[in-house]
A and B are shown apart, each in its own frame.
Chain A
Amino acid sequence: MKFFVCWPAMRKEENKVMRNNLFALVKKESLHILRDKRTMLIVILIPVVLIVLFGFAISTEVNNVNVAVVAPDRTNGVNDAVNRIAHNDYFTFCGYINQDEIDQQLRSGKVSAVIVFAPDFDRRMEQIYAGLPSTPIIQLIVDASNVNSAGAATAYMQEILLGTESQQAMFETRMLFNPQMKSAYNFVPGIMGLIFILVCAMMTSVSIVREKEVGTMEVLLVSPMRPTKVFFAKMIPYFVISCVVLIIILLLSYYLLHVPMSGGVWGIFSMSLLYVLLSLSLGLLVSIVVKTQVAALLLSGMVMMLPMLLLSGMLFPIENFPKFFEVLSNVVPARWYIEGIRKMMIQGSPFVAVWKEFTILLGMTVLFFGMSLLKFNDKLE
Chain B
Amino acid sequence: MSETVISVRNLTKRFGNFTAVNNISFDVYRGEIFGFLGANGAGKTTAMRMLCGLSYPTSGSGTVAGFNVMREGEMIKRHIGYMSQRFSLYNTLTVGENIKLFAGIYGLSKQVTAKRSEELLARLKFSSERDTLVKALPLGWKQKLAFAIAGIHRPEIIFLDEPTGGVDPVTRRQFWEMIYEAAEGGTTIFVTTHYMDEAEYCSRVSIMVDGEVRALDTPTRLKQQFNAGSMDEVFRMLARDAQRGE
A residues in contact (CB < 8 Å) with B? 1-7, 10, 14, 16-21, 23-25, 27-28, 31-32, 35-36, 214-216, 218-226, 380-381
Tell me if B62 counts as interface (CB < 8 A to partner A).
no
Contacts A14-B78, A31-B93, A35-B92 aside, 19 further interface pairs with beta carbons under 8 A come to A3-B148, A3-B185, A5-B186, A6-B186, A14-B75, A18-B106, A24-B100, A24-B103, A27-B104, A31-B92, A214-B86, A215-B86, A218-B54, A219-B82, A219-B84, A223-B102, A223-B105, A224-B106, A380-B55
Bound CA–CA A219/B149 (angstroms): 12
B122: nearest chain-A partner, CB-CB: A3
Tell me if B38 counts as interface (CB < 8 A to partner A).
no
Q: Are A380 and B54 in contact (CB under 8 A)?
A: yes
- Residues from chain A with a CB closer than 8 A to the CB of B131 are none
Most buried by A among B92, B103, B107, B185: B107
B residues in contact (CB < 8 Å) with A? 52-56, 74-75, 77-80, 82, 84-93, 97, 100-107, 109, 119-120, 123, 148, 151, 154-156, 159, 181-182, 184-187
Bound CA–CA A219/B90 (angstroms): 11
Q: Are A25 and B74 in contact (CB under 8 A)?
A: no
Q: Taking the nearest CB of chain B, how far is it from the CB of A76, in angstroms?
A: 80
Most buried by A among B54, B119, B148: B54
A230: nearest chain-B partner, CB-CB: B105
- Residues from chain A with a CB closer than 8 A to the CB of B185 are 2-6
Q: Are A219 and B107 in contact (CB under 8 A)?
A: no
Q: Are A3 and B119 in contact (CB under 8 A)?
A: yes
Bound CA–CA A25/B82 (angstroms): 17
Bound CA–CA A224/B106 (angstroms): 6
- Residues from chain A with a CB closer than 8 A to the CB of B181 are 2-4
Q: Taking the nearest CB of chain B, how far is it from the CB of A68, in angstroms?
A: 64
Bound CA–CA A218/B48 (angstroms): 13
Q: Are B120 and A215 in contact (CB under 8 A)?
A: no
Most buried by B among A14, A32, A224: A224
Q: Are B154 and A6 in contact (CB under 8 A)?
A: yes
Q: Taking the nearest CB of chain A, how far is it from the CB of B86, in angstroms?
A: 4
Q: Taking the nearest CB of chain B, how far is it from the CB of A151, in angstroms?
A: 52
Q: Are B105 and A10 in contact (CB under 8 A)?
A: no
A20: nearest chain-B partner, CB-CB: B104
Most buried by B among A6, A14, A36, A381: A6
Q: Are A16 and B107 in contact (CB under 8 A)?
A: yes
Q: Taking the nearest CB of chain B, how far is it from the CB of A267, in angstroms?
A: 38
Most buried by B among A10, A32, A226: A10
